[in-house]
A and B are shown apart, each in its own frame.
Chain A
Amino acid sequence: MDLYSKTINMVVTPLKDISDSVNSSISNSAERTWKLVKGDAPGPSAPAEGSSSDTADMAIVPESTEITPPGAQEGVETPSDPTLEATDSSPTDDTTQSEATNPTTDVEPEQEEDGPPTPRANPPPPQTSETDESGSNPRSIQITEDYFTRPAHLDLSGASTLRGTDTGPMAGGSCPVTPSLERLQSKPTTALSLSQVHANNDIGSSRASIIIPYTESSSIRSLVPTLDSGDNDVAGMLGEILNEDNVAFASGYGQAWALSRQMEEEEELVEDSDEEWDESDNEDELSEDERIMKWRSRKKHFFILSSAGKPVYSRYGDESVVSQFMGVIQTIISFFQEGHDPLKSFTAGKHKFTIVQEGHLYLVAVSSLGETDAQLRTQLDMLYTQVLSTLTLTTVSKVFSEREGFDLRRLLGGTEVFLDGLSDAMVRGEPNILLGSLECVKMRKHVREKINNILLKCRTSNLLYGLIIADGRLVSVIRPKRHSLHPPDLQLFISMLFSASTFKGGGEHWTPICLPKFNAKGFLHAYICFFQPEIALVLISPTREAFFEMKEVKDNIIDQLDRAGSIPIIEGAVKRGRYLASDLIDGTVIQHFLYKSKANVQFTMPSFDQHFSSPHARRRLMVLYQRLHAAVHARNAHLKVHHSIRRRSVSLAWVTPTFELYCVAGAGTPRNVLAKHANSIVGWIKREEERLFIVGGAVCTFD
């Protein structure tokens, strides 16, 4: 065992993950990040010289090492009791401390330089006007920053106090633009110069328009939300600008602190307001104005449109509401294409717009839930994958190359339920999508092996993949040696099976399906049969005519499963549901956790019962996980352990080369207790690995 020196790294960098650090705590310190640094000499001060990227790269967490370093705790003062800490003094303390003592802070500025976001990734929030909600004066235009702003009547008291936070130093942080000045200046006219995108409701028919100002005065300087107010024009000074910004951040920290309190309150407000999570679709009873208002008040939107600006899919809103918006979005996207510098994302008010362009399809996510760009991109990719699974890439490319104005809904017709199911899962927050992995039904190793062997024994030459899926979780998978099953394909499949009622209900189904990550160009054929209410057998064949063959395979499999007594075992496992965190450790402080096994691309978690049984509590938990995940997955984040204290919870994210663990405990849980229990969980999972995950074997694993 090497010696591991441990340093505690206070996160003070404003740019890295501002949303999380801002929201981290209301009354005590900022985020605390521990980093275990492998060094030759022990002691926190040792790695000082090599503290740049070298050290960072070397930073690893040894398996089964205690994460709480007793020595390091003494080295840096950390308030153990949040409530005792004075609100305004602690941020300053943290800042100075980490600057003075922590060698690893050097890593942080560099990290910004490494990966400056695309200059135009975050253009200025298009000023948006909104119809006077009272309706008394439809001609008057009210300028707000946020097109999707919450309608007044849905607003909870207090939310309005947050207006203006955008102008504070936090705005720069939450919208991390590090514009490469050189690039921007060379093409001023391609900088987003939408000085006004306004929507205007005249009697019933809504209308959107887009305005591209041409005047020289609308230069980048005035349009791009610069982080720095100085006059540094030279691109080469970028580094300096960033450093200055850190200083600016430190000095503005006190102010930021007040804002962070507000933001957390806002966040809770958002999370607490159940009505806003209303996912009902009873829009028929509403007037057009109400529909538009409701549409705008959604926290998260997914759109798919064609490059001609024709709507392909929108989770919410009917065509009349959506189609102008599609026109505006198409125009904004296209405006940047001519410079061969595609628009990837921008922020307007509280909403982040993330755009993925796949050939002739544009996929857009608009979210106010605080996801990172990467997280939203993953979600958009899932939607794109779903479109391909219905149509194949071949078909999509063909129809659009023949006619750009093709109305793709014509071919997608009827499969919107699957897109809806996916969208809803992504609005709700699902661990499998967040972690990009699959969940298995926990069962004894020999039981699973028996089921696997039955599948293998019954297999015929036309069977490519065979799966048993129960309650959205995998029971057994067989695959040919030379073909792997890709998690996104399987996630999609599972979502299709369980989120819509199409396949449920006992009948047999034979459907062409494209598994895009396997082969986006063509169809496979899936035989689907729910032989028990929540248990499906899926047989995938490359042969279109193999229905009767697959039916026979299924009959054999069911027969043998029955004889082996496996069906009641699967049923029992589904009925029992997931284990509880308290089953693992008696009286554990950990209320819930997610554990992802990287090698198996699978995850496990305890039941949401006990602490997170209400949909509302679950959503809040998922938002927390999403933020933890973002913190340890930020570009160039070298974080291995991330500890976050909030008013309602204390949480921990721990990333190693083999696993990711996210766990949540009640407020006020001491760090060392949380760490100890996290370790116990990891130990338990290691012991139970073969029950929790589908492990080993050429056929039964995912590559």
Chain B
Amino acid sequence: MSSRKKVLLKVIILGDSGVGKTSLMNQYVNKKFSASYKATIGADFLTKEVLVDDRLVTMQIWDTAGQERFQSLGVAFYRGADCCVLVYDVNNQKSFETLDSWRDEFLIQASPRDADSFPFVVIGNKIDVDDGKRQVHQKRAMAFCQGKGNLPYFETSAKEAINVEQAFEVIARHALAQEEAEEYTGDFGSSTIVDIGADSENDGCGC
């Protein structure tokens, strides 16, 4: 069964408004960066094909709006995701502090079967901004990830394309692992055989 064609992975990007979710996605998919900020309204969708260990997979990336007023999209968005990416801005303390609530929100809305093993990837974005402005230090972020069950952590710059590729590669890998974790065994066993009972007696014909 698994010999079939490529898998589609649903990846959700969450995080506060302005941390660079859309920029990360654009950098990854289109290799482009725009300095002008344009808030995402509702959600955007992008698709990219990638090779993960010689397997071709399609990432369906769901980029959400960070602004609170769009949160009502809720369940619709999170439902059936294979990986959730939490993004914060290393120069913005508050965006880091809200990561936990983004994670909780996702777990509540998406209610994955095994919340503890559901793959999250944490990204600290905007490391291109000069060091003086940095508010969240790597150690602190790493400690946070550790505490949540060893979440993979990346520091990126969507602007300068630093680490973006690598982060998404790990995202794809985790999503694929999640997707395959509970792969349907294809058991079309006897449980699905119709029992028509003793109805099919031979004298049915009236012609």
Instruction: Verify A405–B80 contact, CB threshold 8 A.
Output: yes
Q: How far is the CB of B98 from chain A (nearest CB, A)?
A: 20
Residues of A within 8 Å of B186, CB to CB, are 411
Partner of A334, one of B75, B196, B204: B75
In the complex formed, the residue of B with least CB distance to A194 is B42
Question: How far is it, in angstroms, between the C-alpha of A263 and the C-alpha of B199 when the chains are bound?
Answer: 56
Instruction: Verify B205–A698 contact, CB threshold 8 A.
Output: yes
Instruction: Verify A542–B200 contact, CB threshold 8 A.
Output: yes
Residues of B within 8 Å of A698, CB to CB, are 204-207
Partner of B202, one of A411, A461, A479: A461
Instruction: Verify B80–A542 contact, CB threshold 8 A.
Output: no
Most chain B CB within a 10 A radius of its CB, from A214, A326, A404: A404
Residues of A within 8 Å of B200, CB to CB, are 461-464, 480, 483, 542
Question: How far is it, in angstroms, between the C-alpha of A402 and the C-alpha of B181 when the chains are bound?
Answer: 11
Residues of A within 8 Å of B203, CB to CB, are 481
Instruction: Verify A212–B49 contact, CB threshold 8 A.
Output: no
Residues of B within 8 Å of A207, CB to CB, are 44-46
Instruction: Verify A403–B80 contact, CB threshold 8 A.
Output: yes
Instruction: Verify B207–A337 contact, CB threshold 8 A.
Output: no
Instruction: Verify B80–A308 contact, CB threshold 8 A.
Output: yes
Instruction: Verify B42–A308 contact, CB threshold 8 A.
Output: no
Q: Is A327 an interface residue (CB 8 A)?
A: yes
Q: A207-B46, A480-B199, A483-B199 are in contact. Are A410 and B194 (CB under 8 A)?
A: no
0/1 string, A504-546, CB within 8 A of B gives 1: 0000000010000001011110000000000000000010100
Question: How far is it, in angstroms, between the C-alpha of A456 and the C-alpha of B69 when the chains are bound?
Answer: 68
Q: Is A588 an interface residue (CB 8 A)?
A: no
Partner of A699, one of B6, B72, B204: B204
Residues of A within 8 Å of B113, CB to CB, are 402-403
Instruction: Verify A202–B32 contact, CB threshold 8 A.
Output: yes
In the complex formed, the residue of B with least CB distance to A696 is B207
Instruction: Verify A523–B193 contact, CB threshold 8 A.
Output: yes
Instruction: Verify B45–A208 contact, CB threshold 8 A.
Output: yes
Q: Is B153 an interface residue (CB 8 A)?
A: no
Q: How far is the CB of A207 from chain B (nearest CB, A)?
A: 6
Question: How far is it, in angstroms, between the C-alpha of A505 and the C-alpha of B41 when the chains are bound?
Answer: 55
Most chain B CB within a 10 A radius of its CB, from A209, A212, A405, A544: A405
0/1 string, A442-471, CB within 8 A of B gives 1: 000000010011001001011110000000
In the complex formed, the residue of A with least CB distance to B41 is A211
Instruction: Verify A700–B207 contact, CB threshold 8 A.
Output: yes
Partner of A324, one of B47, B77, B199: B47
Question: How far is it, in angstroms, between the C-alpha of A478 and the C-alpha of B186 when the chains are bound?
Answer: 33
Question: How far is it, in angstroms, between the C-alpha of A95 and the C-alpha of B93 when the chains are bound?
Answer: 71
Q: Is A607 an interface residue (CB 8 A)?
A: no
Partner of B4, one of A214, A319, A410: A410
Contact residues on A (Cβ < 8 Å of other chain), bracket: 35 or more
0/1 string, A172-193, CB within 8 A of B gives 1: 0000000000000000010000
Residues of B within 8 Å of A512, CB to CB, are 188
Question: How far is it, in angstroms, between the C-alpha of A696 and the C-alpha of B206 when the chains are bound?
Answer: 9
Residues of B within 8 Å of A459, CB to CB, are 202
Q: How far is the CB of A34 from chain B (nearest CB, A)?
A: 40
Question: How far is it, in angstroms, between the C-alpha of A154 and the C-alpha of B179 when the chains are bound?
Answer: 41
Residues 68-124 (chain B) with a chain A CB within 8 angstroms: 69-70, 72-77, 79-82, 113
Partner of A209, one of B42, B75, B76: B42
Question: How far is it, in angstroms, between the C-alpha of A512 and the C-alpha of B4 when the chains are bound?
Answer: 20
Q: Is A576 an interface residue (CB 8 A)?
A: no
Instruction: Verify A323–B60 contact, CB threshold 8 A.
Output: yes
Q: Is B7 an interface residue (CB 8 A)?
A: yes
Residues of B within 8 Å of A482, CB to CB, are 199, 204
Q: Is B127 an interface residue (CB 8 A)?
A: no
Q: Is B182 an interface residue (CB 8 A)?
A: yes
Instruction: Verify B47–A320 contact, CB threshold 8 A.
Output: yes
Residues of B within 8 Å of A330, CB to CB, are 76
Instruction: Verify B196–A464 contact, CB threshold 8 A.
Output: yes
Segment touching B, from A127-135, A391-399, A554-562: A391-399
Instruction: Verify A319–B43 contact, CB threshold 8 A.
Output: no
In the complex formed, the residue of A with least CB distance to B22 is A209
Instruction: Verify A205–B45 contact, CB threshold 8 A.
Output: no
Instruction: Verify B10–A542 contact, CB threshold 8 A.
Output: no
Instruction: Verify B193–A522 contact, CB threshold 8 A.
Output: yes
Instruction: Verify B45–A324 contact, CB threshold 8 A.
Output: yes
In the complex formed, the residue of B with least CB distance to A330 is B76
Q: Is B8 an interface residue (CB 8 A)?
A: yes
Residues of B within 8 Å of A323, CB to CB, are 8, 45, 47, 58, 60
In the complex formed, the residue of B with least CB distance to A207 is B46
Instruction: Verify A210–B205 contact, CB threshold 8 A.
Output: no
Q: Is B154 an interface residue (CB 8 A)?
A: no
With contacts defined as CB atoms under 8 Å apart, how many contacts are there between chain A and chain B in the complex? 197
0/1 string, B167-207, CB within 8 A of A gives 1: 00000000000010011101010111111100111111111
Partner of A320, one of B1, B58, B184, B192: B58
Question: How far is it, in angstroms, between the C-alpha of A483 and the C-alpha of B201 when the chains are bound?
Answer: 11
Q: A205-B47, A211-B41, A410-B4 are in contact. Are A480 and B207 (CB under 8 A)?
A: no
Q: Is B138 an interface residue (CB 8 A)?
A: no
Q: A410-B184, A411-B186, A524-B194 are in contact. Are A331 and B207 (CB under 8 A)?
A: no
Q: A323-B47, A542-B200 are in contact. Are A456 and B205 (CB under 8 A)?
A: yes
Question: How far is it, in angstroms, between the C-alpha of A625 and the C-alpha of B8 when the chains are bound?
Answer: 40
Q: A311-B8, A404-B80, A406-B184 are in contact. Are A209 and B44 (CB under 8 A)?
A: yes
Q: Is B137 an interface residue (CB 8 A)?
A: no
Q: Is B29 an interface residue (CB 8 A)?
A: yes
In the complex formed, the residue of B with least CB distance to A455 is B205
Q: Is B139 an interface residue (CB 8 A)?
A: no
In the complex formed, the residue of A with least CB distance to B190 is A544
Partner of B45, one of A327, A403, A462, A479: A327
Q: How far is the CB of A512 from chain B (nearest CB, A)?
A: 7
Q: Is A307 an interface residue (CB 8 A)?
A: yes
Residues of A within 8 Å of B179, CB to CB, are 405, 407
Instruction: Verify A307–B188 contact, CB threshold 8 A.
Output: no
Question: How far is it, in angstroms, between the C-alpha of A203 and the C-alpha of B46 when the chains are bound?
Answer: 13
Q: How far is the CB of A543 from chain B (nearest CB, A)?
A: 8
Question: How far is it, in angstroms, between the C-alpha of A456 and the C-alpha of B44 when the chains are bound?
Answer: 60
Question: How far is it, in angstroms, between the C-alpha of A699 and the C-alpha of B199 when the chains are bound?
Answer: 13
Residues of B within 8 Å of A602, CB to CB, are none
Partner of A413, one of B4, B82, B190: B4
Q: How far is the CB of B130 from chain A (nearest CB, A)?
A: 30
Instruction: Verify B193–A395 contact, CB threshold 8 A.
Output: no
Instruction: Verify B58–A449 contact, CB threshold 8 A.
Output: no
Instruction: Verify A410–B207 contact, CB threshold 8 A.
Output: no
Instruction: Verify B49–A320 contact, CB threshold 8 A.
Output: yes
Instruction: Verify B196–A310 contact, CB threshold 8 A.
Output: no
Q: Is B140 an interface residue (CB 8 A)?
A: no
Partner of B1, one of A212, A406, A410, A697: A410
Residues of B within 8 Å of A338, CB to CB, are 74-76
Q: Is B55 an interface residue (CB 8 A)?
A: no
Instruction: Verify B194–A309 contact, CB threshold 8 A.
Output: no
Q: How far is the CB of B124 from chain A (nearest CB, A)?
A: 25
Instruction: Verify A310–B204 contact, CB threshold 8 A.
Output: no
- Ordered by A's residue number, 30 sampled pairs between the chains whose C-beta atoms are within 8 Å are A207-B45, A209-B44, A209-B45, A212-B70, A212-B73, A306-B80, A307-B79, A309-B10, A309-B62, A309-B79, A320-B49, A327-B45, A327-B62, A331-B77, A394-B191, A395-B192, A405-B80, A410-B7, A452-B207, A480-B199, A480-B204, A481-B201, A483-B196, A483-B199, A483-B200, A522-B193, A542-B194, A542-B200, A696-B207, A699-B207
6 smallest CB-CB distances across A and B, nearest first, come from: A308-B80, A334-B76, A405-B80, A698-B206, A404-B80, A697-B207
B residues with a Cβ closer than 8 A to A are 1-2, 4-8, 10, 29-30, 32, 40-49, 58, 60, 62, 69-70, 72-77, 79-82, 113, 179, 182-184, 186, 188, 190-196, 199-207
